[in-house]
């Protein structure tokens, strides 16, 4: 990371007096470059980018005793064949933090993912089938939605609360009609101890996203438990119920949704090497569909800023969205 200080000089003249003030911003330039050789069953071998990114974040001294300003910008950097959009925005938000909590506004990660879902997202491969295939409780673009408002309470010992609201986001107007102002929201609670991490989330999607009207309620639980120094257990459970009616279905037929996922994994660290394994069980209670996935990998850390990884993801042949297996060999460099 590269730290630097930006000095902004603001001067104003008044009839009776003149004065100048200086506001200081401590900013961090950071990045993560990731490439991998991807062997996907039924496809050609591919050397590709694995979600590289570049960003800047920091704090601004507002001259207030208990409040600082915050800013954060992050964009995609495609290091291979530029299939993605170079500098496509990943995060762009501003806010403030103090002993009253933290308030953020803009394009940002949803707390449902960061606190609950990410506990079992332990692999380096950037494909949806490797990490996000069964993140069923995604709220109106849960990864990084724009037009969002988040609030984090101060920490109460090891406990903290957070709320996240998507307000008329980019996914809310695909049908050309104005929808509800509140696209989705989620409420979150986490406990973070020395060896045990627990998180719970409840959320609702109540308007249009991607051309489909939703009315979905979602619950999620996530945990990380350091059993001993080399061994860590991770798991998450999600349940989602409700309905969605396609806006392009002239019959207006509603589709009931009742699905759940249970995912658990282990990480075992031996020096600079970490062994990883994870299993996933997905069920649609209304249709009877059951899918499984398992994944295994090894990661070797080259100091604290670089790593090599080898990972294999085995998907269920009945999974129409990912009826293939994937093996990835990659290199990641952070700064």
Instruction: Give me Rg for the CA atoms of the chain.
Output: 22
pTM of the model: 0.84
pLDDT in tens, 5-20: 444 333 333 343 333 4
- The reported pLDDT for the residue numbered 204 is 85
pLDDT in tens, 76-118: 998 876 566 778 889 999 999 999 999 999 999 888 888 998 9
Structure tokens, 229? 């120094």
What span, in angstroms and rounded, lies between the C-alpha atoms of 107 and 164?
A: 11
- The reported pLDDT for the residue numbered 320 is 87
Under 8 Å between Cβ of 208 and 201:
no
What span, in angstroms and rounded, lies between the C-alpha atoms of 73 and 190?
A: 26
Read out DSSP for 144-180?
EEEEEEEEEPPPBTTEEEEEEEEES-TTS-TTSS---
Residue segments in the chain with a per-residue pLDDT below the cut of 70: 1-24, 81-84, 137-143, 169-181, 207-214, 244-255
Residue range 2-334, CATH number: 2.40.160.10
Under 8 Å between Cβ of 139 and 205:
yes
* Domain range annotation of the chain: 2-334
Q: Work out the burial of residue 16: count CB atoms within 10 Å of its CB; fewer than 13 is exposed, 13-18 middle, 19 or more buried.
A: exposed
- The reported pLDDT for the residue numbered 80 is 77
- The reported pLDDT for the residue numbered 108 is 92
Q: Three-class SS of residue 111?
A: helix
């Amino acid at each position: 990371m590269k730290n630097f200080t930006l000095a902004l000089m603001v001067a104003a003249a008044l009839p009776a007096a003149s004065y100048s003030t200086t506001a200081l911003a401590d900013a961090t330039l950071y990045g993560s470059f990731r490439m991998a050789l991807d062997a996907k069953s039924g496809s050609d071998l591919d050397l590709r980018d694995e979600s590289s990114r570049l960003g800047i974040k920091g704090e601004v001294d507002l001259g207030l005793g208990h409040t600082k300003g915050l800013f954060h910008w992050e964009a995609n950097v495609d290091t291979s064949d530029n299939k993605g959009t170079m500098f496509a925005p990943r995060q762009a938000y501003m806010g403030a933090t103090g002993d009253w909590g933290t308030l953020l506004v803009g394009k940002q990660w949803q707390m449902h993912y960061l606190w609950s879902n990410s506990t079992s997202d332990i692999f380096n491969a950037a494909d949806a089938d490797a990490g996000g295939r069964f993140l069923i409780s995604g709220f109106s673009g849960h990864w990084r939605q724009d037009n969002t408002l988040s609030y984090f309470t101060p920490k109460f010992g090891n406990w903290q609360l957070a709320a996240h609201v998507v307000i008329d986001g980019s996914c809310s107007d695909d049908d050309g009609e104005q929808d509800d102002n509140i696209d989705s929201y989620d409420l979150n609670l986490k406990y973070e101890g020395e060896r045990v991490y627990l998180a719970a989330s409840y959320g609702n999607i109540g308007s249009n996203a991607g051309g489909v009207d939703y009315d979905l309620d979602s619950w999620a639980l996530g945990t990380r438990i350091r059993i001993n120094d080399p061994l860590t257990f991770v798991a998450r459970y999600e349940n989602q119920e409700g309905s969605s009616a396609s806006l392009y279905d002239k019959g207006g037929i509603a589709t009931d949704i009742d699905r759940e996922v249970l995912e658990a994994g282990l990480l075992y660290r031996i020096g600079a090497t970490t062994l990883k394994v994870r299993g996933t069980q997905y069920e649609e209670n209304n249709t009877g569909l059951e899918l499984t996935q398992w994944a295994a990998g090894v990661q070797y850390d080259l100091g604290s800023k670089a790593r090599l990884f080898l990972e294999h993801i085995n998907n269920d042949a009945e999974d129409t969205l990912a009826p293939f297996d994937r093996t990835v060999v990659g290199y990641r460099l952070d700064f």
